[in-house]
Amino acid sequence: MNLELLNSAINGNRRAMARVLSLLENRNINIDDIKSKFPKLFSKPDTESWSSIAITGAPGVGKSCLIDKILIEWSKLGIRTALLAIDPSSPRTGGALLGDRVRITAIDNEEFKDLIYVRSIATRKSSGSAPLIVSDMVDFLIAVGWERVIIETVGSGQSEVRCAAISDRIVVVEGPARGDGVQAEKAGLLELADAVIVNKSDISGATQHASEIEESFELGIGQTPPVILTSAHTGDGIESASSLLLGLEDSGRSKRAKWRERLLAKHERKILESSKLDEILENLSIGSISIDEALNVLGGN
């Protein structure tokens, strides 16, 4: 472990911090090892406030532009915020565009440059839209002084529920012309949402869609999450939405579902980080072992 690099990152060197995050992402360093060397950094008192928030939703609803506006509002309050923007990896080549950060203009503002950190992450082998290593990266960012971490997920449908395994709060972004409340509920995300933002409120149908989502929530169990109308284009609702998200509470609508995702994520991580995974995949592809035999090997690794 490079203690000099870690100390430099802890003391605010962004280049060193980026290198440590890369080491974590590539599994060249373990977050537990960092915790053992710097226990005081990770022994912060429990609070009811959240540290990480996943902002998710279908492609095209304006997640990146909305996050850009939120970053500006939080920076005005002096809040240090890190954004982890997740991009999908190609299942064939393994490559990723890592392009969401180009929409984030807040980092171009000299006044806010020390208050915002943006990093792109590829999904790689993860079966969901949020790689599990993100939780370790969040822990490290919080430990070295970032007050809030936003996780922008891919936006690829039901696989988005995996973000429940890596974040304290979940915000679902919807848009007009996305179907009625029942269609939105079918996506599987609303049962985990702590808040819903209907973006593009300047477009016809947004208000009606928000009302339909509120009606669908009334059929569920637990606290009804707030449904907010915003327009990243005009700025309408951005200030109130930013304020609400800072104090967002756990809706408690589906604690079992959240723990289910965390349990599944833990099991998946054990498989993906196995030193025998490549060998097992090769053996499976040529038919020399069965799925059950592969699971037995991985389970005993």
Q: pLDDT tens-digit profile of 129-187? A: 457 789 899 999 999 999 999 999 876 555 567 777 788 999 999 988 655 444 445 45
Number of domain units in the chain: 3
User: What token pair was written down for 227?
Assistant: 């449904």
Q: Does residue 114 sit in the same domain as residue 5?
A: no
Residue entry with tokens 């440059």: 113
| CB-based contact 195:228 (threshold 8 Å) | yes
- What is the domain extent for residue 294? 260-299
Q: In Å, what is the CA distance from 113 to each residue of 12, 14, 68, 77, 105?
A: 13, 12, 13, 14, 11
Pairing of strands 52-57, 169-174: parallel
Same domain, 167 and 204: yes
> 200 and 153 share a domain?
yes
Q: What is the pLDDT of residue 79?
A: 97
Task: Give yes or no: residues 88 and 60 share one domain.
Answer: yes
H/E stretch holding 112 reads none
Q: Are 86 and 217 within one domain?
A: yes
Say if CB 254 and CB 161 are below 8 A apart.
no
pLDDT higher than 60, residue 226 = yes
Please tell me the distance from the alpha carbon of residue 166 to that of residue 159, in angstroms, as a whole number: 13
Q: Measure the CA–CA gap between 23 and 34, rounded to whole angstroms.
A: 12
Q: Of 41-55, 66-80, 156-170, where does mean pLDDT reach its minimum? A: 156-170
Please give the model's pTM, rounded to 2 decimal places. Answer: 0.83
> Residue 289 is which amino acid?
I
> What angle is formed at CA 87 by the lines to CA 142 and CA 124, rounded to 5 degrees?
90
What CATH number is associated with residue 229? 3.40.50.300
Are residue 62 and residue 203 in the same domain, yes or no?
Answer: yes
